[in-house]
Structure 1
Amino acid sequence: MADSTGNEGAGRVADVLLAFLDGPRRLGVSAVARELGLSKAVVHRILQTLVNRGLLLPDVDTREYHLGPAAAAIGARALRESDLRTIALPVLRELQQATGETTTVSARVPGGRVYLDQVESAREIKMTVELGRRFPLHAGGSSTCILAFLPDDEVEAVLAGPLDRLTDRTIVDATGLRRRLDDIRRRGYACTDGERQEGAGSVAAPVFGVDGWAQGAISVCGPAARVDPAARERFVPLVTAAADRISRGMGWRGGIPSPEGRAIA
């Protein structure tokens, strides 16, 4: 029983810290308690523990909290040691030169995915992304490319959960999203136009790990007026070839697992 209670407590601490990866940079006790379904007293104790260890910092004026220097140090260390980021970065530089638009790499994390890095377009008007912020898996090219190539139970968990509308073009019904995922699996890539962020167009492809499941995704993104259907068609072979190179650098040798776990072509 004590071990179970300890695991539950550790899980709550982790969930509170992970809440700061989403949405606003600063959160108060009430917002965290509401999001996680915990009592304010429990959340307050956890927040104080995280403050004492430098993982969070309090704002005395607003009574809200934001990530602290220890969290930043952990994030920086994780980036330095990320195999996916290290392998992807030189490929992203080449892809940016070939397309002229911003290129990104994302990693799967619990509850969604985060951008690990980007190579920005040299153009005056360009797309940039927020590194380290967690985004849901149901909206956007990188997100849906990851979701399409996850085990069935993880896909079904996302489909059964809340599908928040991020823009007018976000797919928010499970049936429509299921069709979209089937299409991504057939094609091996995703094209989007304002699905996660208004006015943005992108082409994304999954990055596979040695086990054959999606570990992340890469994308080319820019203003929708430039990344139009003709541009997306030109970018598709470049993006899919780049994703293949990165996947093989991650140890992937071709094929993806079937629902039963057997590798298939």
Structure 2
Amino acid sequence: MDNHLSSVKNSCRLLKLFLDSPKEMGVSELSRQLQLSKGAVHKLLMTLESEGFIKQNPANKQYSLGFTLLGLGNKVLNNHNLVDFAKPYLQKLADTTQELVCLCVRDGHEAIYIDRIDSIHPIRFNVEAYRRFPLYATSASRVILAYQDPSFIESIISTDIRTFTPFSLKEPAEISDRLRSIFTNGYEVSENMRNVGVMGIAAPLFDIDSTVTASISMIGPVDRVKPSLDTFIQHVTAIASDISVQLGYRG
């Protein structure tokens, strides 16, 4: 049995058309995209307009999104807690990979782990929640840095670069090349760069404005992660994509 109200579903479909369309649209265009009659679309518009979800331009009779949606959007943002929101996705990734999974955010010129789910294995890598580190230092932070403005990236990598192991990135040009590769691939894989014997896989989280201020990562011993690297990359990037879509990212 279909438990959806068709009129409500069509109203939602109508509103979502404006996410990827011009600011204003007329009844004919909405009718074509929704594959509904002009009469049905007109009724939907009148109902939505009466509640402030849609408004009409008197000059050209075209329709656009109303201010009620702006109020609802701000309410969502004010109530939004990334840790709580992302927790089910992190748990799914942890259950699938059985390795340490982390949520990382940019905080100014640094990165910080704000949540984690530990590995179930007795031999495992661990991180401290709320630990700060340079944006160039780990897979989770570099995948955030790769999507920042060039001027911001330059300000980060032009400072004294701190190394952690003999395999750490040392030179600005080296880091810059790495960031370009991350941007192209959509993920980062780090081996022995932050801790010897440890491999990290990270992917960016995009928000509704297509900006990146957070990432998720999976971290484990090299000898356990590397043999299944391609599979782990698929798991991490798929979960990151799911979170991004739920954050409003349109691709």
Give TM class, smaller chain: 0.5 to 0.7
Q: Which segments of 5 or more consecutive residues in structure 1 lack a partner in the other structure?
A: 1-80, 255-265
User: What's 2:167 paired with?
Assistant: 169
Q: Which residue identity is paired with 2:236?
A: V
Does residue 1:238 correspond to 2:235, yes or no? yes
Tell me if structure 2 keeps the 8 A contact 1:205–1:218. Answer: yes
- Return the offset for 1:194: 1.3
Moved runs in structure 1, 4+ residues, more than 3 A? Answer: none
Match of 2:181?
Answer: 183
* Distance in 2 between residues matched to 1:90 and 1:250, nearest whole Å: 14
SS of aligned partner of 1:123: coil
What TM-score do the two structures reach when normalised by structure 1? 0.63
Distance 2:246 2:159 in 1: 33
- Displacement of 1:132: 0.8
Structure 2 matches for 1:36-47, cutoff 5 A? none
1:1-265 alignment to 2 at 5 Å? 83-228=81-226, 230-254=227-251
Q: What whole-Å deviation, never above 9, does each CA across 1:76-121 have from its counterpart, x for those lacking one?
A: xxxxx76221221101111111111111110110121100111111
Note if contact 1:84-1:250 (Cα within 8 Å) is conserved in structure 2: no
Cα-to-partner distance string for 1:31-88 (whole Å, 9 max, x where unaligned): xxxxxxxxxxxxxxxxxxxxxxxxxxxxxxxxxxxxxxxxxxxxxxxxxx76221221
CA RMSD after TM alignment: 1.3
- The answer to whether the 8 A contact 1:87-1:249 is kept is no
Matched residues in 2 for 1:82 and 1:153: separation? Answer: 29
The 1:157/1:82 distance shift into structure 2, 3 A limit, reads: farther
CA distance in 1, matches of 2:151, 2:188: 21
Percent sequence identity over matched residues?
A: 31
Does the C-alpha gap of structure 1 residues 169 and 124 become closer, same or farther in structure 2, counting only changes over 3 Å?
Answer: same
Contact 1:83 1:250 in 2 (8 A): no
Q: Name the CA distance, whole Å, in 1 between partners of 2:164 and 2:80.
A: 29
- Offset, 1:172: 1.2
Local SS of the residue matching 2:249: coil
For 1:121, the aligned partner's letter is S
Aligned residue for 1:225, secondary structure, equals helix
Q: Which amino acid aligns with 1:245?
A: D
Match of 1:17 in 2: none
Structure label with greater radius of gyration = 2
Distance of 1:113 and 1:232 partners within structure 2: 25
- The DSSP-based 3-state class of the residue aligned with 1:217 is strand
The offset of 1:160, in angstroms, is 1.0
Partner amino acid for 1:143? Answer: S
Structure 2 residues without counterparts, runs of 5 or longer = 1-78
CA contact (8 A) 1:191 1:203 kept: yes
Counterpart contact for 2:225–2:232, Cα < 8 Å? no
Q: SS at the partner of 2:113?
A: strand
Could you tell me how far apart the structure 2 residues matched to 1:209 and 1:154 are?
A: 19
TM-score (norm 2): 0.66
Distance 1:166 1:172 in 2: 10
C-alpha deviations, 1:1-59, integer Å up to 9, x for none?
xxxxxxxxxxxxxxxxxxxxxxxxxxxxxxxxxxxxxxxxxxxxxxxxxxxxxxxxxxx
Give the aligned length.
173
